[in-house]
């Protein structure tokens, strides 16, 4: 199995080059087409501007600045692709918010690649909000495709030799495993961990473990399983376990507020997005 259509988002933040490099390497590895989406988001500037100060000349000049910046962003991405030797790549400039642009492109993609959660105090010069957290969370909850988040620090191989699955008996977790199969099948070792609270019956997870082992074996994957006992912070335990065991990719479900509250955005999912030390594939 492999991904044949990958989508990423490009902007003028300092971290953009890092996640684009990962997306390019992934596209090369899977012989996939890579689409980079740039948003011409004039509306965000207009909303933040005093209405009385608006005039047609000002709006025209603003639009010109946005267009120039988008062209600059696109050129940087194209140079990255050329340097890496990726020919099946293109930039799509879409007028609208980053979320709307990415949601539409995701319909025709196998995988989305985004950068890690970062907080900013200003706006992009291309009109996109520099709160990438909003893009991350909105896409995770509404996109039809899995999202692979890349940390802002460090370099990571597109092929992960050691994959860690954070397993929960849920639709989201099962979907993440299924959609990560092209990456899981390339790994030399795969481990699934279940994080339980103190006092939980470990035997409750045995049936799930056996079923997951059987399922992945059908896809040629040998799986090791492990149960981790956490006092109160499963996210930190997951990241510590990943680091201690040399994991290079974490696969997990992404949860909303109405499902499994302890794993909700604002809980484990958000903590992972903020503190990740390795690439993380999530599906909702």
Which tens digit of pLDDT belongs to each residue from 56-75?
Answer: 776 777 778 888 989 999 99
Rounded mean pLDDT of the chain? 85
Question: Which of these, 250, 256, 245, lies nearest to 272 by C-alpha position?
Answer: 250
Based on the fold, state whether residues 145 and 245 are members of the same structural domain: no
- Does any domain span residue 172? yes
Choose the final residue of a domain: 126, 150, 174.
150
For residues 19 and 86, membership in a common domain is answered with yes
- Determine the average pLDDT of the residues in 276-282: 96
Q: Note whether 128 and 9 are within 8 A (CB).
A: no
* CATH code where residue 108 lies: 3.40.50.620
Looking at the fold, whether 51 and 137 belong to one and the same domain comes out as yes
Q: What predicted TM-score, i.e. pTM, was given to this entire model?
A: 0.87
> Which of the pair, 52 or 40, is modelled with greater confidence?
40
Domain closes at, from 150, 182, 206:
150
**Which is more confident, 129 or 152?**
152
Do residues 84 and 124 both lie within one domain?
Answer: yes
Residues 45 and 141 in one domain: yes
What's the pLDDT score for residue 131?
44
Model confidence at 126, pLDDT cuts 50, 70, 90, reads very low
C-alpha distances (whole Å) from 170 to each of 106, 197, 228, 280 are 23, 17, 18, 18
Pairing mode, if any, of strands 89-95 and 162-166?
unpaired
Do 224 and 123 share a structural domain? no
Please state the rounded mean pLDDT for residues 163-185. Answer: 96
Query: Which domain range does residue 111 map to?
Result: 5-150
Q: Tell me, yes or no, whether 126 and 15 share the same domain.
A: yes
Query: Is residue 118 located within the same domain as residue 172?
Result: no
Q: What percent of the chain has pLDDT over 90?
A: 55
Please say if the pLDDT value at position 97 is more than 60. Answer: yes
pLDDT at 253 over 90: yes
Which residue would you say has higher pLDDT here, 154 or 281?
281
Same domain, 191 and 254: yes
pLDDT at 34: 99
Q: What percent of the chain has a predicted confidence (pLDDT) above 70?
A: 81
Taking residue 59's Cβ as centre, other Cβ atoms within 10 Å add up to 14
Residues 210 and 142 in one domain: no
Are residues 11 and 120 part of one domain?
yes
pLDDT at 124 over 50: no
Q: Do the domain assignments include residue 156?
A: no
Contacts of 162 (CB under 8 A, 6+ apart): 187, 188, 189, 190, 191, 245, 246, 247, 248, 249
**Residue 120 binned pLDDT confidence (cut-offs 50, 70, 90):** very low
124 in a structural domain:
yes
Position 209 scores a pLDDT of 86
Q: Are residues 105 and 70 in the same domain?
A: yes
Residue 123 lies in a domain: yes
Report the alpha-carbon distance of residue 84 to residue 2 in Å, rounded.
20
What is the number of domains present in the chain?
2
65 inside domain: yes
Residue 188 located in a structural domain:
yes
Give a yes or no: residue 85 inside a domain: yes
Q: In the prediction, which pLDDT does 223 show?
A: 98
Burial of 102 (0-12, 13-18, 19+ CB in 10 A): buried
If you average pLDDT over residues 258-268, what whole number do you get? 53
Q: Is residue 141 part of a domain?
A: yes
Q: Among the three residues 150, 181, 214, which one is the final residue of a domain in this structure?
A: 150
């Amino acid at each position: 199995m492999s991904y044949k259509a990958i989508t990423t988002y490009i902007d003028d933040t300092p971290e953009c080059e890092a996640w684009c490099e990962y997306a390019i390497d992934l596209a090369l590895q899977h012989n996939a087409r890579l689409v980079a989406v740039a948003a011409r988001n004039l509306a965000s500037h207009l909303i933040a501007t005093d209405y009385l100060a608006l005039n047609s000349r000002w709006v025209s000049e603003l639009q010109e600045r946005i267009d120039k910046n988008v062209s600059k962003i696109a050129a940087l991405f194209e140079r990255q692709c050329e340097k890496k030797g990726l020919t099946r790549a293109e930039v799509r400039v879409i007028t609208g918010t980053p979320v709307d642009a990415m949601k539409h492109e995701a319909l025709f993609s196998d995988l989305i690649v985004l950068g890690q959660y970062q907080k900013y105090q200003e706006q992009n010069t291309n009109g996109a909000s520099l709160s990438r957290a909003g893009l991350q969370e909105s896409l995770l909850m509404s996109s039809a495709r899995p999202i692979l988040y890349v940390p802002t620090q460090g370099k990571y191989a597109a092929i992960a030799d050691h994959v860690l699955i954070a397993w929960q008996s849920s639709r989201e977790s099962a979907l993440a495993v299924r959609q990560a199969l092209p990456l899981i099948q390339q790994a030399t070792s795969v481990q699934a961990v279940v994080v339980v609270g103190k006092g939980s019956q470990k035997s409750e997870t045995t049936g799930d473990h056996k079923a997951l082992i059987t399922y992945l074996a059908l896809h040629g994957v040998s799986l090791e399983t492990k149960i981790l006992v956490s006092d109160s912070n499963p996210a930190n335990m997951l990241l510590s376990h990943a680091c201690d065991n040399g994991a290079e990719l974490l696969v997990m479900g992404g949860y909303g507020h109405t499902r499994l509250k302890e794993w909700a955005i604002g809980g484990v999912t958000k903590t992972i997005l903020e503190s990740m030390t390795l690439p993380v594939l999530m599906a909702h």
